[in-house]
Structure 1
Amino acid sequence: MRIIPRTMCTQHPDYATVPQWVTNDFIKGDDEVYEAYMNYSIYDCQETMWDFEGKDVDIYVVRKLLENYGGFFINKVLGEDIFLTYRLPNPNVEASDRKVYAEALETIPMAYDLARVFYGKPVKAIFEVIYPLTSSSRDLIITLRYYERVVAGKCRVELDEGVKVADVIGEVEPKTIEVIPLIEDMDSLLRVDSIIEGYVKAVKPQYIRVFIARSDPAMNYGLIPAVLLAKIALSRAYTAGNALGVGVYPIIGVGPTPFRGNFNPRNVNNVLREYPGVYTFTVQSAFRYDYPVDNAKEAINTVNNSKPTEPLILSKHEEELALTVIRQYVDRYQAEVEGLANVINYVAQLLPPRRTRRLHIGLFGYGRGFRGITLPRAIAFVGALYSIGIPPELLGLATLLKLNEKQWGVLEGNYVNLWRDLSDAAQYICLECIQQLPIMKNELRVDEETISMVLEDVKAIDELGVKVPSPGFEQRKHALLTKLFLESASNGYINDAREYLLEMAKVRRGVG
C-alpha cells in the first residue's frame, strides 16, 4: 500500500505576513515552485496541492523542482515518498477554464517522463487529481475516462499509414490516474456514500481518498452546520467503504480560523481530536507564514507522526437529529448573511491579495447559493466579517438557544471543540463597531433588522455560557484597528483603510 499523506500543503491565499523569499506582495510564478520545495524540505509536509482552479499556474513545476532542487528530490522520490497533487478546475462550472482542465491532465505524462529520466526508473511523479465541486460519481468517472482515453489513449491513434501518435511522442505513461472528489455543498456531502459507490463500482479501485470541504460549507451554511455536515459525510463515507470492501482515506480542508477549521500551529491537537478517521489535513498558507517557522514545522510533524483514530459512525437517529439542527441553523444564518452581503463584498475587495487568483465567487456564484446573493471566496468572506467586528462564527448562534435536549446531545457529542472555537472567535467581537453599522455611510451601512439579529447572536454568547477570556493586547489592538478601519473607509481614506485591514489580519495571524 502506498503512503497516505497526513499533511497536504495548499496554496490558499489566507496568509497576512509575506514570507521573506517572496519577490512581491503576493506569491506567483516561480515563487510557487520554490514554495512547493519549501513545503517538503523546510516544513516536512508530505503532499502539496498544485492548484489549477481559478488561478494561473506553472505547468512545468515538476521539471523546475527536479532541475533546481535535485539534491533534495534524489533522496525523496516524488510520487512515492512525497506527493504533488493537482486540483483541476471543474469544467462544468468554470466554463472559461475547460481547456485548463484538459491542459492539466496532459501534463501528467510529461511529469512521468521527466521523473523517469531523473530517477533512472519508472516513477509516477503525479498520479492523483482533485475534482472540485464534485456532485456525482459521474464527475469522477468522466475525468478518469478522459485521461485514459484521450490523454493516454491517443497513442493508438493512427496519423498516417503505419504511423501512430506513439511513434511521434513516445508511449504515454501512466495509463491511468486516481481521482479525488472534493465535496463542497450540502446536497453532495449528504450523498457522499452514493458518490463513492458509483465510482467504486465503475472503476473498482483498491481505495479512494475523499476530500471533505470545511470553508465553503461554513460560508454557505454557518459554522455549526459545516462541522456537523463534515461528521455526517465522514460517517457515510466510511460506511460506504466498508460495505464495498474498499479503503477510504478522507482529507479535511481546514483553515486557520475557527470558522474554517481552527487548524493552526497552536491548535493542531484539538483538531486531530475533532476529526477522527481523517487521514490528511490541509496545511494552508497562514499556518506556515503567520507563525514562526519552527512552530509551524513542529506542529506539522505532530500531525505527520500521529496516527488516524477510528472514525465515528453515526446512527440514522443521530444523523436525523444533526440534520434538524443544521436546517434550523441555516435559515437564520443565511438571512443574516443576506443582510450583510453588501458590506462583506465591499470590505473583501480592500483586503490584501495574496495569490494571483482570477475572479472566482464560490458556490454563491454558481447558482447554488441562496436568495440570489453573490459573495467573495471564503477567505475574504471571513476576513471581511472579522474586520467589521462580527466574527462569522457568531452568525446564527442564537439558534442554539432553541435546541432541545436530544439536539444538544448530538451537537456536543459531534462537535468536540464547540466551546473552544466559540471562545476563540468571540474575542474579536467589537460591540461598539456592530452598533455603528446602521449609521455608517454608503457600502458600510447595514440595516437595523440585520444588526438586531447579530446582536441577538452576541447576547447568545453569554446565555450559552461561552467562556470568553478578558481581552488581551492583541484583541484590544484588533478592536481599535476595526474602529479606525470603519472611520477611514466611511470617510473615503481608502489607503488608510487597507493598511488597517492588513494590520488586523496580522493580529489574527491570517486574512480569514
Structure 2
Amino acid sequence: MKNRLEHHSEMAIPRLMCTQHPDSTVRIPVSEEVQEAILGYGLYGCDEVMVDFEGKLTPYSQPRDIVLKALEEGIPVGEEFFVTVRVPNPKLEGVDRLLLALESAVLANYYSVNHTGVEAVRWVVVPMVDSSDVLLVAHRALHEKARLVRELTGVHTEPPEVVPLLEGVSEHLNAESILASYFESLERSGIDPKPLRVFVGKSDAALRSGHLASLLSTLHALSSIHDLAHRLGVDVSVVLGMGSPPFRGGLNNPSLAEVEARFYRGFDTATLQSAVRYDVPREVARHVSKVLRDNAGKPATRFRASRELLEALSQAYRSRVTQLLPALNEIADKVPQTRERLDRRLYGRFIAEDAPGPAPRAIAFTAACYSVGFPPTLLDARGIMEKLEELSSPLLEHIKAELELDYQFFVPEVAGRFLGRSPVREALDLKEKIGVEAAPRENYLSAINAGDFDVVRLARIRGFLG
C-alpha cells in the first residue's frame, strides 16, 4: 500500500497542519494570521497551514499573502510548506462564499507558480460533507477557475485537489460509500481519480452525538478509509482534526497526546490547533508537535463500530444535552471570540430536531461546559453506564484515562447551580462506577468559586479555551 508513504505520486504529504481554530485564550485578528502561518512553520514544524473561510471572516487575499510572505522568508513553498484552504459548504453558507474562497486558492497558485514554478495550494477542504455532490461542485469550479486564470495570464496552474471533511457520526460510518461515490462520479466524467486526501474531524461529531459515539465513529472512519484504499487500489491519506480537550479528541493535549496518537492510528497529517500553540509553554507545544509527527503514517487499527451502540449512545447524549441547551447557550454567549468568526445564530449547529434552537459551535460549547465545572465528556455519563457491558476493556481504560483529566475540572456544586442536580448525579455515579480517582485542581476550584465567572482565567488553567 502506498497510502502510508511520505509521497503520493511524487507529491509530499504534510505531517502537521497549523489551523486557525478559536480554541485559545489569545485573540488572533485576521491581520496577524499571515505571520502566524510563518511562525507555525518555524517554531513547530507545521509544513501546512489551513486558511479557514468556513464560518469565518477571513480576507480572500490571505492565501496569496501567506504565499508571498513565505517566499520572502525563503520558505520552500509547494515543496516543504503548503497552504491549504478550507472553503464554506455552499449548502450552509451560500455558493457566493464558496466561489470566492475557491478563487482565492487558485489565485494564490498563480502567484506561487509565477515565482517558483510549483503550486502552493495543493488541496481545498470542503467541510460538513454528507454526500459526493458538493465535492463534485467544488471540483468543477476549481477546474473552471484554473482554466480561466490560465487563459487570462498564460500561467499554467494545476487546480487544487478536493479534500472531503467528514465530521459527523453518520458521515464517519458512511465514509466508504461517500468516497467510493466520489471516485465513481469522477471516473464517469472521464477524470482519472488522483491520490485522495480525506479529513476526519471529531469536534462536530461530538457536539451532535456525544464524546463516546464520536470516538467510536472516528475509529470506524480511519479503519474503513484504509479498507477503501486497499479495495480500490488507490492512494488515500488522512488528515485527523482534533483539539486539546478529550471531547474534541485530546490529540493536542500535552497530558494525552501520546495516548491519543496511538489510539487514533491511521492518520497521515494531524492538526496543531491554536490552544496548544498559545496556551501552553512553547517547549511543551513543541513536544506535542513531535509526538504527532512521529505517529503520523502508521496503519489504522482494524475496527468496525456497532451502529446500534452508537445510536443508543447518541440518543442518551442528545436527550441530556437538549434539556441543558438553553443554559449552555447563555453561557456560550459569554465565551470570548478569539478568531473573527460568524455569530452562532448565523452559523450554529443543530443537535436534534426538537432542540430549542441552534447550539453553539463545538469550541464555544466545550468552553461553556468547562466554565461551569462540567466537562462535556460527562454529558455521556448515563449512556456509558447503560452500555458499560458492551464496552471492551481497552476502550474503558482509554475512556478512564481521558476522564482522569476531565474530572480535575469537575466542580459538582457549581455545575449543579447552572445545570441542575440530575447531570451532576450521573457524573458522580460514573466516577464511582469506573473508579476514576481524580479530584478538582485546587487552583481551578479557587478560580471557579470566586464567583466572577472568569471564562478566560479558567481556560488558562486548563491550557485551552474549548
Partner residue, 2:131: 136
Describe the SS at the equivalent of 1:511: coil
Matches within 5 A, 1:50-61: 50-61=51-62
**Letter in structure 2 aligned against 1:465:** G
Partner residue, 1:399: 383
**Letter in structure 2 aligned against 1:293:** R
Describe the SS at the equivalent of 1:420: helix
Give the whole-Å Cα distance in 1 for the aligned partners of 2:330 and 2:29. 25
Deviations 1:277-327 (A, max 9, x none): 11111111001001111221232133224442221223xxx533xx33322
Partner residue, 1:432: 413
Describe the SS at the equivalent of 1:256: coil
Structure 1 unaligned spans of 5+: 19-25, 156-164, 438-445, 486-495
Give the whole-Å Cα distance in 2 for the aligned partners of 1:308 and 1:293. 25
Residue number among 13, 36, 57 corresponding to 1:4 in the alignment: 13
Residue number among 2, 13, 22 corresponding to 2:22 in the alignment: 13
- TM-aligned CA deviation for residue 502 of structure 1: 1.3
Partner residue, 2:189: none
Partner residue, 1:477: 443
**Letter in structure 2 aligned against 1:35:** E
Residue number among 287, 305, 318 corresponding to 1:298 in the alignment: 287
Distance 1:402 1:112, change over 3 A: closer
**Letter in structure 1 aligned against 2:162:** V
Give the whole-Å Cα distance in 2 for the aligned partners of 1:78 and 1:424. 39
Partner residue, 1:198: 181
Matches within 5 A, 1:480-499: 480-485=446-451, 496-497=452-453
Distance 1:427 1:142, change over 3 A: same
**Letter in structure 1 aligned against 2:240:** I
Distance 1:106 1:301, change over 3 A: same
Q: Which deviates further from its counterpart, 36-45 or 352-361?
A: 352-361
What TM-score do you get using the length of structure 2 for normalisation? 0.90
Give the whole-Å Cα distance in 2 for the aligned partners of 1:273 and 1:383. 26
Cα contact 1:362–1:376 (8 A) shared by 2: no
Distance 1:240 1:63, change over 3 A: closer
Distance 1:305 1:188, change over 3 A: closer
Asked whether 1:461 is paired with 2:462, we answer: no
- TM-aligned CA deviation for residue 416 of structure 1: 6.4
Asked whether 1:319 is paired with 2:302, we answer: no
Matches within 5 A, 1:45-124: 45-72=46-73, 74=74, 76-95=75-94, 98-119=95-116, 122-124=117-119
Asked whether 1:180 is paired with 2:180, we answer: no
Asked whether 1:231 is paired with 2:240, we answer: no
Describe the SS at the equivalent of 1:434: helix
Deviations 1:364-394 (A, max 9, x none): 6468655354211111101111111111111
Distance 1:302 1:404, change over 3 A: closer
- TM-aligned CA deviation for residue 228 of structure 1: 0.3
Give the whole-Å Cα distance in 1 for the aligned partners of 2:443 and 2:351. 39
- TM-aligned CA deviation for residue 251 of structure 1: 1.4
Cα contact 1:231–1:414 (8 A) shared by 2: no
Distance 1:207 1:224, change over 3 A: same
Describe the SS at the equivalent of 1:152: helix
Q: Which deviates further from its counterpart, 201-210 or 39-48?
A: 201-210
Matches within 5 A, 1:334-349: 334-349=318-333
Partner residue, 1:510: 464
RMSD: 2.3
Distance 1:81 1:479, change over 3 A: same
Residue number among 321, 338, 350 corresponding to 2:334 in the alignment: 350
Work out which of the two has the higher radius of gyration on C-alpha atoms and give 1 or 2.
1
Distance 1:434 1:365, change over 3 A: closer
Distance 1:139 1:413, change over 3 A: farther
Matches within 5 A, 1:149-298: 149=144, 151-154=145-148, 166=151, 169-171=152-154, 173-203=156-186, 204-262=192-250, 263-298=252-287
- TM-aligned CA deviation for residue 465 of structure 1: 1.4
**Letter in structure 1 aligned against 2:253:** N
Distance 1:324 1:54, change over 3 A: same
- TM-aligned CA deviation for residue 358 of structure 1: 1.3
Aligned residues: 451
Asked whether 1:452 is paired with 2:422, we answer: yes
- TM-aligned CA deviation for residue 141 of structure 1: 1.4
Distance 1:63 1:219, change over 3 A: closer
Asked whether 1:35 is paired with 2:36, we answer: yes
Structure 2 unaligned spans of 5+: 1-7, 187-191
Residue number among 366, 371, 382 corresponding to 2:355 in the alignment: 371
Cα contact 1:259–1:392 (8 A) shared by 2: yes
Give the whole-Å Cα distance in 1 for the aligned partners of 2:325 and 2:113. 51
Describe the SS at the equivalent of 1:371: coil
Q: Which deviates further from its counterpart, 370-379 or 383-392?
A: 370-379
Cα contact 1:62–1:114 (8 A) shared by 2: no
Give the whole-Å Cα distance in 2 for the aligned partners of 1:245 and 1:171. 36
Cα contact 1:185–1:216 (8 A) shared by 2: yes
**Letter in structure 1 aligned against 2:464:** G
Describe the SS at the equivalent of 2:162: strand
- TM-aligned CA deviation for residue 14 of structure 1: 0.7
Cα contact 1:220–1:369 (8 A) shared by 2: no
The percentage of counterpart residues that share the same residue type is 29
**Letter in structure 2 aligned against 1:110:** L
Partner residue, 2:299: 310
Deviations 1:55-103 (A, max 9, x none): 121333354335445453x3x32222111100000111113xx322111
Deviations 1:433-460 (A, max 9, x none): 13333xxxxxxxx4x5xx3143123211
